[in-house]
Structure 1
């Protein structure tokens, strides 16, 4: 029966659905609505809702207000941390054109191993990092990591042999091992799946900023004439001490989670929780679950992420370490080489943020990744085929700059993995597997280049070309597998009496109503599994993004 004052005219399907969505978004969830799970294993978000007695109403207005607060607090800290980390890694390549190899008497593969040992350390420590990220408060973890790696970099100023440089680089790798997985975890913890590509892309885009700003700073430091320090020692000491100083900012201002954030009011915390309900990924749990570990290791997706990261990290590791030397091989002096690395960073920045924006607009990551593989393929071919002489300096630089589109690929793989993994322990373990792949690639990459192969670097460039092609194929296969998993979840939902076709509203703006190809609204994901700390394979309401 209709209420007094309501029209008795029958409503069409779209009108009924829009009203149901508005009711769902405006009606707060009570404690009775929440899934009853073991309190020792439940998500901390569920505990907060139980303590308050209700969840809040999520509207476009309060969502925008809280998202702005989160961005203004988290992003500046994350951007600076990642900027410093990438800058600290790049100091080796900067130092290489300011006499490091000569002063430390490096020869053969020794310089290559100084680039690779950071990733050897990260590879070995990834299992411990995965465990710590579940057990240790996130803000404190990031502050301690930043302090320790800053100290390790500062100590490199006193290293003047291969052995001492190796030790310093080893510790640098150990203390940096948890930063990328921590940032992925932070993005999963604070942002809706729709918002994740741009946020992941923004901090990873610091690679491009480093190549611009870092190159300019290094250019200035290279002009310092000191009777005590060589130019490369000034570079190590300068960037190391800045990192140590910034660790105190991280300690005092980086929150551990949305549930403990002092910059959010009690109502804002509830909005932060409600924002993430539709992710079906939970927010925070410090319970380590071995069944999640097992599932992550047996999940075919985990090994797709691993393979994708190996395929992109081999060229990335080689070009990052040997990039300035490749430019120098075109016939430029040391200072001009540093300046000509600036456009490389600009292209990186545009590719990274452009790719993130396109993935958000299309609500798909696979097609964008496949598109980003094409320019590096063209760039490698140019460097392999164009003669290395004074007459072709310009085309060689263009080829090198085209290759620099590749950094836009890595953050999208991060985002692709993050959006398609649920369960607190499984998220951390899967990220660990992904980072192991990145470490393996970065260990192999620099060793495909050697200073003996200058100026052509034929072996390194040819291997990079092959791997960009392999990467494209792996992207296609992963898209097909994710589509298969969605169909599998559809059958499971039907068996449980649920609608087969559902759309995760975390991929749409708050208040937006997604429609199918005929313009009809599509049922949203049920939220009864949101905070049960289920994995993506266990949760039939989870929708994979390809």
Structure 2
């Protein structure tokens, strides 16, 4: 295959890559560090390497074949992921929608009971994260997602028969168990299929379904709320409709969701090789199905892991409270039930714009920290408005504007996930790190709703004060994490120099295919020839890994 003009890496370097891959066991790199775990050099290896060895050749990545394969991947994966996440967020939101249509009164909820119905989902997800991490390494991804969707749809459907706090809690508990692996699985899918440059937009796209749910979920619920039935209450119709819709979609996931690029049935063998080359410069591997305890240990000893954990708690505390009590907050501004549902639509639109706008800006700047810091500012301003403006009917418009300004915050969570995903390598370490993040999200979503109670209406001062404080803490943590990643990059440069390499290397994963990155003087930056991409090395073990801040 001929090398297109202007593409990178060069043909000679590509031949070096292929030779290194095809003989990686017989001819290990002279630059490989002696302190790397022996398991990395055992008989088990990344499935990408196995496919290249089976076919007997690799391929050259060009702008043309990259664009063609990326389009195929997007057309197959994104519709499935978007619908799954839409349904998941819709199913979670049914609780807040149902509260507007008489759930609290008809099931005799009082005190913190409604808050705990929101929090118990995250308690279940927190407890089941260790099992989820293991399953995501060992179980085919497509099958995992299909079964998860089926079981959580059944759990939601069963909420139709719940008549009191106890039965609602049981149903919500199982809903949380079956949803526990979905967000971590989506992170794993994004890492498995997309270059680091492409990840923010893809992560943002499925997370933006939160905004779509607040728009169209509100409209659907508005329609369902008008249905009169001698058998079901309005809130029961909401549970049954969305539950059965989820069960039906699980069959679509089972049939069309591929397990991995290597096992996909919608790409030719040549396209699979292109998919592998697309992921090479991520330096994160693709798929091994081997659980490595040394990578588990490294994940827990990595300072970055705890930065991600702290960032996720800081955003999830306000997110959990506002998500659960949002419709009730609007209602207490002086709007009736149906207007409350309709007024949640602009909230969703702003979420959608903030999420996709933040992802686009992170891709353009090739940095996530500054974008995250920027996204913290509107929620801080909105929280101050709601706290300082007098809660009377005459002030309901400015209060509503403050609420809408807060709604920029959903753009933060997917960028934190994307930030972590781009800065973690090693099959097991990636899954464990994602679990640590998700535990942080669960803890925040457990705490958040319990900082609000129905007795605080209409001011909800304790909850809103806590949200304001956490948005400020989040901004500070972002600054500290950026400084830490910059420090790690300097350490990586010293390691490369010690290994006889150039301090600066091309991070192709953050540039368009065919681009030739240069230094400040305009000189091309040296390429990585010693290829560690598919050796299942962690970011600590691989001196070629470049951290993104």
The TM-score by the shorter chain falls in which range? over 0.9
1:151·1:244 contact (CA, 8 Å) conserved in 2? yes
Deviation for aligned residue 1:528? 1.3
C-alpha distance in 2 between matches for 1:131 and 1:303: 20
Q: Which residue is 1:253 aligned to?
A: 256
After TM superposition, the structure 1 = structure 2 runs for residues 40-439 of structure 1, keeping only pairs within 5 Å, are 40-439=43-442
1:280·1:527 contact (CA, 8 Å) conserved in 2? no
Matched, 1:469 2:466: no
Of 2, 5, 11, the match for 1:23: 11
Q: Which residue is 1:5 aligned to?
A: none
1:25·1:58 contact (CA, 8 Å) conserved in 2? no
C-alpha distance in 1 between matches for 2:13 and 2:334: 62
Deviation for aligned residue 1:375? 0.1
Deviation for aligned residue 1:420? 0.1
Deviation string 1:51-88 (CA, Å, 9 cap, x unpaired) is 11111111100000000000000000000000000000
Deviation for aligned residue 1:203? 0.2
2:6·2:515 contact (CA, 8 Å) conserved in 1? no
Of 441, 444, 448, the match for 2:444: 441
C-alpha distance in 2 between matches for 1:100 and 1:258: 45
Deviation for aligned residue 1:526? 3.6
Deviation for aligned residue 1:519? 2.2
C-alpha distance in 1 between matches for 2:489 and 2:323: 37
C-alpha distance in 2 between matches for 1:506 and 1:129: 28
1:153·1:236 contact (CA, 8 Å) conserved in 2? yes
Deviation string 1:281-303 (CA, Å, 9 cap, x unpaired) is 00001000000000000000000
C-alpha distance in 2 between matches for 1:101 and 1:118: 18
TM-score (norm 2): 0.95
1:197·1:360 contact (CA, 8 Å) conserved in 2? yes
C-alpha distance in 1 between matches for 2:8 and 2:515: 13
C-alpha distance in 2 between matches for 1:23 and 1:522: 17
Deviation for aligned residue 1:32? 4.7
C-alpha distance in 1 between matches for 2:122 and 2:478: 24
C-alpha distance in 2 between matches for 1:373 and 1:381: 13
Q: CA RMSD in A?
A: 1.3
2:7·2:514 contact (CA, 8 Å) conserved in 1? no
The 1:543/1:83 distance shift into structure 2, 3 A limit, reads same
The 1:47/1:387 distance shift into structure 2, 3 A limit, reads same
2:7·2:63 contact (CA, 8 Å) conserved in 1? no
C-alpha distance in 1 between matches for 2:530 and 2:457: 58
The 1:27/1:59 distance shift into structure 2, 3 A limit, reads farther
C-alpha distance in 2 between matches for 1:530 and 1:89: 38
2:13·2:529 contact (CA, 8 Å) conserved in 1? no
Unaligned runs of 5+ in 1: 1-16
Deviation for aligned residue 1:524? 2.8
Deviation string 1:441-494 (CA, Å, 9 cap, x unpaired) is 000000000000000000000000000000000000000000000000110110
Q: Which residue is 1:509 aligned to?
A: 512
The 1:525/1:327 distance shift into structure 2, 3 A limit, reads farther
Q: Which residue is 1:531 aligned to?
A: 534
Deviation for aligned residue 1:26? 6.0
Deviation for aligned residue 1:28? 7.9
Deviation string 1:145-199 (CA, Å, 9 cap, x unpaired) is 0000000000000001000000000000000000000000000000000000000
The 1:111/1:24 distance shift into structure 2, 3 A limit, reads farther
Of 531, 540, 543, the match for 1:540: 543
Deviation for aligned residue 1:322? 0.2
C-alpha distance in 2 between matches for 1:41 and 1:294: 20
C-alpha distance in 2 between matches for 1:106 and 1:544: 49
2:386·2:402 contact (CA, 8 Å) conserved in 1? yes
2:45·2:535 contact (CA, 8 Å) conserved in 1? yes
Deviation for aligned residue 1:23? 2.5
C-alpha distance in 2 between matches for 1:20 and 1:257: 26
2:47·2:288 contact (CA, 8 Å) conserved in 1? yes
In structure 2, the residue corresponding to 1:373 is in which secondary structure? helix
Deviation string 1:339-390 (CA, Å, 9 cap, x unpaired) is 0000000000000000000000000000000000000000000000001111
Deviation for aligned residue 1:39? 5.3
TM-score (norm 1): 0.95
1:29·1:56 contact (CA, 8 Å) conserved in 2? no
1:118·1:169 contact (CA, 8 Å) conserved in 2? yes
2:195·2:282 contact (CA, 8 Å) conserved in 1? yes
C-alpha distance in 1 between matches for 2:181 and 2:310: 20
2:116·2:449 contact (CA, 8 Å) conserved in 1? yes
Unaligned runs of 5+ in 2: 26-39
In structure 2, the residue corresponding to 1:30 is in which secondary structure? helix
